Amino acid sequence: MEEDLADLYENAPCGYLSLWPDARIVKINRTLTDWLGRSGETLVGQPLHALLSFGGRIAFETHMAPLLRLQGHVSELALDLLDADGGKLPVIANATEKRGSDGGHLLTRLTMFKAVERRTYERGLVAARTEAEANAAAEHETAILREQFIAVLGHDLRNPLAALAAGIRLIADRETLSDRGTMIVKEMSASVSRATALIENVLDFARGRLGDGLTLVRSSVALAPVLEQVVAEIRLIAPNRQLLGHFEIGQPIICDSARIAQLASNLIANAVTHGAPGIPIEVEAHVAEHIFVLSVANGGVPIPPAARAQLFQPFFRGDVRRSQHGLGLGLFIVHEIAKAHGGSVDVTSSDEETRFTFSMPAAST
Amino acid sequence: MVLIRNNVNVSGAGDRAMVFAHGFGCDQSMWAEVAAAFERDFRVILFDHVGAGRSDPAAYDPAKYSRLEGYAEDVVEIGRALELRDAVFVGHSVSAMIGALASLKAPGMFSDLIMVGPSPCYVDDGDYVGGFSRQQLEELLEFLADNHLGWSAAMAPAIMGNADRPELGERLTNSFCATDPEIARQFARTTFFSDNRADLPRLSARTLVLQCREDIIAPPCVGEYVHAQVPNSTYVLLDATGHCPNLSAPAEVTTAIRGFV
């Protein structure tokens, strides 16, 4: 059978609508009038506005009409048509301008598809996105409060700890102690040092997260004595471990020496915690080709490759004995200090050794 | 900086400048034809409001642009950057009021205001007929929320003029006047809930009100109201219908502007 073009127009599986340049209806097909429950004869000559919801009318004037004039076509517009009872019929519309040979605007043609379920679905998506955004904003707020709390708590814990450390020093220096007493005071001192270091890390973490970032106080420093001091402190805390320091720096480095000390201390403490007790920990620093390099190596079980990628994330803790659990901030802070110095920190790990290497420009300003 | 932020384009030659400002829903391309007619006699200045066209998306500040004053400040900054004095400001739709506010903020910058389809207040208020009820405006905002189809984050670079990725531009179905739907909604809110009736009697610039015969956004009674309230104003009723005579009847608009300036 031949296609009947007049029938195709009237009963097409989509709505057809043609407008004069002043947006009055010239022709409308039966499919569309059936959808709307209106008669075609009464609609011809009426403005398009008669078919549109208020929002659609404004959008037609502010968006579609200008676009049609500018580019001659508009695609995929979501419109609500008004049916005979004033109900809304969601449709997707495409429109083109028919122009004469002189470019004059002759007609505007619209094709419409029903989009009831599609519109419901899309509104659902938009609502879900809005809700997700609201939840994320609320969570962000809570996270900030939590981090502020951590910062305040960490700060307030420093004072009693300082008092404790002073008391312990006083007892060690001035009091006569039994051998057992001397040993206990040493252990207490080591515990206080460890607690102080943990709090410093928590504070740095909170500062970093609260947007202040790590602030550096840079000066030109001979780093070897600074690193010697760090190694000596850790020897005090971990007298059973063998620490080998080897520093050939040769030139002053522009850096925040307190931060570099903190970085070294975190790396060495990490090696003490995770390294095999019988194997010495090597701490090495040198300058080569204008790069300052500090590395800390320990023996023992290598870090699994999967864990390596996450090592520098805050609150990451490897698979260690419970008693050795820290907060998991040490390496994160190392990473932040390296970054603040324009440097980086890398790790290699094999059966022979696990080595953390910090490098930064030696002439950094 | 300002000139990049607002995608300012200067052309033409002449002692006086004529600034064309687009309204809600489009960008400077809607003025292209009319503006070209003035390039021989005027320094022609086209720009996009922040959030529209090829303005700098990073400059969009929801708080600043929740009031028409925010847009007017930008106009003043553009005027200062281009050292405008006694210029002509041609504002379509909401930009008619933005131009009015700019002329109050920077006396001497604009000697002439041409308002095309202006409305100082879209919502009916007592005896004042703006043409809109609040419920109708909410319906408009809902409509804008539904029309996110023409926009996705992937398209943004193309719209912002990313010349190194032309394939993005080709994918655009509606390449003019594309706007982030969220910004469109905010601009709609700022526009249609504005009320600048009290500013009209304070205007000192020569003012031309161009009114379309049939315009559901700014009906003739609103244009007449503006003419009655602005001290030094002329009223011209165009034969054009709809809200965008600069596109549907550019010749008529050009003639009216030329007759005034």
* B148 noted as active-site residue: no
Compare B189 and B69 and report the one with higher pLDDT.
B69
**How many degrees, rounded to 5, is the angle at CA A128 between CA A124 and CA A129?**
120
User: Which residues, other chains included, contact A331 with Cβ-Cβ below 8 Å and sequence gap of 6+?
Assistant: A266, A270, A311, A312, A316, A345, A356
Q: How confident is the model at residue B147 (pLDDT cuts 50, 70, 90)?
A: low
Q: How confident is the model at residue B14 (pLDDT cuts 50, 70, 90)?
A: confident
From the CA of A78, how many Å to the nearest CA of chain B?
Answer: 6
Contact B208, B88 (CB under 8 A): no
Contact B88, B261 (CB under 8 A): yes
Nearest to A67 among B24, B93, B174 (CB): B174
Q: What is the mean pLDDT of residues B160-187?
A: 59
pLDDT tens-digit map of A228-250? 988 988 887 788 889 999 999 98
User: Where in the sequence of chain A do the CATH 1.10.287 domains occur?
Assistant: 120-213
pTM: 0.63
Q: What is the mean pLDDT of residues B132-157?
A: 65
Q: How confident is the model at residue B136 (pLDDT cuts 50, 70, 90)?
A: confident
Nearest to A63 among B25, B93, B142 (CB): B25
Given the residues B119, B215, B227, B233, select the one marked as catalytic.
Answer: B215
The Cα A14–Cα A31 span in angstroms is 7
Nearest to B176 among A54, A70, A75 (CB): A70
The partner residues of B115 in beta bridges, in order of sequence, read: B91, B209
CB–CB of A22 and B214 under 8 A?
Answer: yes
Residue range A5-114, CATH number:
3.30.450.20
> Positive or negative, the Cα torsion across A304, A308, A310, A314?
positive
CB–CB of B150 and A58 under 8 A?
Answer: no
Expressed in angstroms, the distance from the first to the final Cα of chain A is: 85
User: Where in the sequence of chain A do the CATH 3.30.565.10 domains occur?
Assistant: 214-365
The two structure tokens encoding residue A331: 């390496």
CA torsion angle B169 B170 B171 B176 (round to 10): 60
Q: How confident is the model at residue B148 (pLDDT cuts 50, 70, 90)?
A: low
Give yes or no for residue B246 having a pLDDT over 80.
yes
pLDDT tens-digit map of B203-235? 999 999 999 988 888 999 999 999 999 999 999
Helix axes A330-340, A257-274, angle to 10 degrees: 150
Comparing alpha-carbon positions, the chain A residue that sits nearest to B172 is A75
Select the CATH number that applies to the domain covering A120-213 from these four: 1.10.760, 1.10.287, 1.20.120, 2.30.30. Answer: 1.10.287
Give yes or no for residue B167 having a pLDDT over 80.
no
The Cα A27–Cα A8 span in angstroms is 14
User: Which residues, other chains included, contact A225 with Cβ-Cβ below 8 Å and sequence gap of 6+?
Assistant: none
pLDDT at B160: 41
Q: How confident is the model at residue B241 (pLDDT cuts 50, 70, 90)?
A: confident
Kindly state whether A56 is in contact with chain B, defined as any CB-CB distance less than 8 angstroms. Answer: yes
3-state secondary structure of A187: helix
* DSSP secondary structure string for all residues of B20-43: EE--TT--GGGGHHHHHTTTTTSE
User: Where in the sequence of chain A do the CATH 3.30.450.20 domains occur?
Assistant: 5-114
Q: Which residues in chain A land under pLDDT 70? A: 207-213, 317-327, 364-365
Q: Please give the CATH topology (third level) of the domain spanning A214-365.
A: Heat Shock Protein 90 (3.30.565)
The two structure tokens encoding residue A257: 């020496």
* B93 noted as active-site residue: yes
The CA–CA distances, whole Å, from A230 to A236, A258, A272, B110 equal 10, 10, 13, 70
pLDDT at A148: 75
The partner residues of B47 in beta bridges, in order of sequence, read: B21
From the CA of A55, how many Å to the nearest CA of chain B?
Answer: 4
Q: Which of B45-49, B145-149, B196-200, B239-243 is the least confident region?
A: B145-149
